[in-house]
Amino acid sequence: MPQVNDLVTSRARAVRAGAATRSALEAFWARAAMSKLETKFALGREMAALPRLSIDALRAVVLQYRYFTRAFITDLSLLVARCPEGRLRSLLGQLVDEELGMGNPEEAHARLYDRFLESIGAIEPGASDAELCAAAHPKINALLVELNHRTTRRSPLYAIGMRGLGGECVCGVYFSVMHSHLRKHPFIVEHDAGIDWKFWDIHAGHADVEHNELVRAAVAELLEDHGRHRQPRAVTELADGYDFGTATWDAFWTAVYREHGVQVS
């Protein structure tokens, strides 16, 4: 009988731990949803400046995002290696494959973004990697180095929150708002037909929304497992990483805007 009682007690504890994890996760999702809504409104105000920039300033702003895109793919690949086996790891691996063009380097999303930059005159076709790397702003490089450091050195759950949620899920908000304001710039309007929009068709469309939902479901499944194994800090680790990831997005745009004299609210 003692063994039976121990088994019942153990299962009861696991049920309570799972319930506590679900409750904490629901609170986190609610906070994240409100954060994304607030971000969207704030971005709407800040990115309203894009159509008023000179074309040279606009090119400089969107060029800096090139480095964020490339660093994200690298960090996401590292995150796959650190992620526990399961649905989230498989999903993130699929996202990496898509980002890299699914075997076709010309369809890699970083290459698609470069084609967009070339089509608006932000970079020269055929520019060398060394030339392009030299154009990265030092503050942007510092942000990306810190993201990479935390992806590899902090806990897997922290890295998932930072790059899987704070990167993959939040970026859709930035893309959709930025895309909307980009298309209002006089130069963009005038040359719209000659601009390569494929990168934006992917990232400012339904694909990113679908990715967000899939990542969220897979993260919830992973945390359920952590709850069953009574790891109470699991949601806290995830939330801490998410907060740093979203703060880095804000720091990125603040640095880029200030470089070109745009007032950030």
- 183 is written with which tokens? 């298309």
What pLDDT score was predicted for residue 254?
82
Measured in residues, the chain has a length of: 265
**Residue 200 pLDDT > 80:** yes
For the chain, the first-to-last Cα distance in angstroms comes to: 66
Residue 252 CB contacts under 8 Å (≥ 6 apart), including other chains: 64, 68, 140, 143
Measuring CA to CA, which residue among 68, 256, 50, 76 is closest to residue 159? Answer: 76
Average pLDDT over residues 20-46: 71
Dump pLDDT digits (tens) for 142-156: 999 999 999 999 999
Q: Which whole number is the average pLDDT over 73-90?
A: 93
Q: What is the largest CA-CA distance in the chain?
A: 81
Ranking 19-28, 187-196, 205-214 by mean pLDDT, the lowest is 205-214
Residue 263 has a CB neighbour count (10 Å cut-off) of 8
CA distance 24 to 9: 23
The answer to whether domain 2-259 has CATH 3.30.1370.60 is no
Query: For residue range 217-243, what is the model confidence (pLDDT) as tens digits?
Result: 888 888 877 555 456 688 899 999 999
pLDDT in tens, 129-182: 999 999 999 999 999 999 999 999 999 999 999 998 876 666 777 788 889 999
Check residue 16 and give its pLDDT.
44
Write down the pTM of the prediction.
0.84
Helix, strand, coil share of the chain (percent; to 5): 80, 0, 20
According to DSSP, residue 121 is labeled T
Asked if 239 and 166 count as a contact pair (C-beta separation under 8 A), the reply is: no
CA-angle at 196, arms to 133 and 96, nearest 5°: 60
Within 10 Å of residue 213's Cβ, how many Cβ atoms?
10
Angle between helices 168-182 and 55-82 (to 10 degrees): 160
Q: What is the mean pLDDT of the chain?
A: 83
What pLDDT is attached to residue 226? 59
Q: Is the dihedral of CA 11, 82, 70, 99 positive or negative?
A: negative
